[in-house]
Amino acid sequence: MATSWAAPPPGYPYAQGQGGAQPPHPPQSTAVAVTPVSNGVGNPYVIVTPASASPSTCQFRTAPNMADAAVARLAQGTKVYAEGGHDRVFTQAFGVVPGEQLRKAYACYLSTSSGPVIGTLYISTARLAFCSDSPISYHAPAVAVAGAAPAHPPEAIYKATTFFIASVVLPLNQVKSVNPSASMTNRGERYIQIMTTDNHEFWFMGFVSYDKALKNLYEALQRRA
């Protein structure tokens, strides 16, 4: 488990942690485990919803980069316009908490055990929530087909593919800290680590507006009841 860094005030340099130490960056061991059976298993904040998809709509994973995030932001804008605005999209995806108001939404990636997943991070007065933009494919472990000749493994082995939407919902009263971070080798690669009070962590990256996202996350924690 990575060290927990207390949330610095707005304007705090992203490349420094407490006492000037190097802030954390997303190790694979802390990536969120996301599979079709992830719901509440080891991480109560992860929600997996079955979905149907074709190869053309399946989530494409790649290393986070500004171009992909910018395209995702355009796609997000199109979806938001078609579905009636950010508030309606957020409500459809995550339901309603009494008195809750959506403040901001950012296209970004979530670090998962299967690789970075692109989606939208929502900041409301009650929750932080992320939802993947399109279905994610999951290949079940390979199994041998009954009666198939063992001499021809390519014909005898198949993988069942399922599709799902991955979501993360973090009540603000369960968020312990929001921490800026950057790659040691490429300072252009910037991350945001969110830690919960029960020591679950989530890494987000690929923001088009990194500084604004970080500022609004800090403000969300400062304004919570």
- Residue 73 has what pLDDT? 57
pTM listed for this prediction: 0.71
Q: Which residues of the chain have pLDDT under 70?
A: 1-31, 34-42, 52-84, 139-160, 225
- Residue 82 has what pLDDT? 58
- Residue 217 has what pLDDT? 97
- Residue 61 has what pLDDT? 45
Q: Is 190 within 8 Å of 180 (Cβ atoms)? A: yes
CATH 2.40.30.10 assigned to domain 28-223? The reply is no
- Residue 15 has what pLDDT? 38
Cα–Cα distances (Å) from 206 to 28, 47, 118, 133, 165, in that order, read 17, 22, 9, 14, 19
- Residue 221 has what pLDDT? 95
CA atoms of 11 and 87, how far apart (whole Å): 28
Q: 73: phi > 0 → left, psi -120 to 50 → alpha, else beta; which?
A: alpha
- Residue 128 has what pLDDT? 98
| pLDDT tens sequence across 13-41 | 343 333 334 444 555 555 677 665 555 55
